[in-house]
Amino acid sequence: MDDINEIKKNLGTKEVNTWCPGCPNFLILESVKTALAGLISKGVYRQEDFAMTTDIGCSSKIYDYLNISGIYGLHGRSLATGLGVTLGNPNLKVLSFMGDGGCFDEGIAHFMHAGRYNADMTLIVHDNQSFSLTTGQPTATSQEGYISKASPLGDADFPLNPIKVALAAGIGFIARCNARDFKHTAEILEKAIQHKGFSYVEIIQDCLIFNKNVNNKDDRMYKIENNSDKKKAEKIAGEYDYNNGHGKGKIALGVIYSEDKPALYEKWEQLKALKEKGVGWKG
């Protein structure tokens, strides 16, 4: 097997990077490359076994900087596109990238159903609590009172708690990470990718330009051991309400919940057959 640094190098591209200097999206990219290189070097996957789908957004620019096949899709639709890819070839390990706006506003319907389908894919949400690419409008996870060009009097709505939503929606692997702790994020991503079925990893990410009031929550964060107890997961999810302006709650990082249940390819005979043969519909 190739040297891990060599594999990582091959996972990069030569595209000019247009993220703001210092944006934590650079760290998320590093974590993703580290996780994939780790799995490739251990022989768990080959580079060509991965496929990615993205939305539109600062987060989704990762499409240009990560050397795996994929589809650069519509805002809010990365999960739907990813589901299509895995239906086309269940042997591909699909990584779907989204911002919080794409996932919890435009694309929330897809998130709600993902746990039920339980397709063998990983959703990675870069949660900066704002629609950053379009200059910082409030999203479903923005804190109450967030002042932006679109909410000059402050956002009147309370934030959605995506971890609680994921638990309610029956998602079988739910984790939360801090972009700045990129080694821990890479470890969690490795686990998520190896989980059989749908896995959701939320990465808390500062935006250096918009919604700066929610940045730097590190002193409230703590790491947990992998948890498979639903009641405990609900308690952990309730500790933090995403209303950062009010400064409430410790923020747990790690695998908040995991459960083994039949993946989509185990529920559909046709997909099971493709998986056993190691091929897509075209053979």
Ligand X SMILES: Cc1ncc(C[n+]2csc(CCOP(=O)(O)OP(=O)(O)O)c2C)c(N)n1
What distance in Å separates the CA atoms of residue 99 and residue 129, rounded to the nearest whole number? 9
Spatial neighbors of 159 by CB under 8 A, at least 6 apart, are 129, 140, 141, 142, 143, 144, 241, 242, 243
The interface mask with ligand X, positions 213-252, x = CB under 6 A, is ----------------------------------------
Residue 133 beta carbon to ligand SF4: minimum distance, rounded to whole angstroms:
6
Pairing of strands 251-258, 173-178: antiparallel
Token code pair at residue 150: 């679109």
Window of 14-22, 40-48, 88-96, 127-135 that interacts with ligand X by CB under 6 A = 127-135
Measured from the CB atom, is 59 or 243 closer to ligand SF4? 59
CA angle 145, 150, 155 (to 5 degrees): 20
Residue 131 beta carbon to ligand SF4: minimum distance, rounded to whole angstroms:
10
CB 201 within 8 A of CB 192: yes
Q: Which of the listed partners (ligand SF4, ligand X, none) does 125 bind, with a CB threshold of 5 to 8 Å by partner kind?
A: none
* Residue count, binding to ligand X (CB under 6 A): 21
Q: Which of the listed partners (ligand X, ligand SF4, none) does 56 bind, with a CB threshold of 5 to 8 Å by partner kind?
A: ligand X
Among 33, 93, 110, 126, binds ligand X (CB under 6 A): 126
Q: Binding of ligand SF4 at residue 203 (CB under 6 A)?
A: no
Residue 239 beta carbon to ligand X: minimum distance, rounded to whole angstroms:
23
First-to-last alpha carbon distance for the chain, in angstroms, is 27
Q: Which of 125, 128, 113 is nearest to 159 (CA)?
A: 128
CB 136 within 8 A of CB 207: yes
Q: Which residue has the tokens 């075209």?
A: 282
Q: Binding of ligand SF4 at residue 44 (CB under 6 A)?
A: no
Window of 51-59, 109-117, 249-257, 262-270 that interacts with ligand X by CB under 6 A = 51-59
Helix (H, G, I), strand (E, B) or coil at 108: helix
Among 76, 138, 159, 254, binds ligand X (CB under 6 A): 76
Q: Binding of ligand X at residue 132 (CB under 6 A)?
A: yes
Q: Which of 100, 243, 241, 107 is nearest to 164 (CA)?
A: 241
**Which residues form the interface with ligand X (CB under 6 A)?**
55-59, 74-76, 99-102, 106, 126, 128, 130-134, 139
**Which residues form the interface with ligand SF4 (CB under 6 A)?**
19-20, 23, 25, 58, 128, 132, 207-210
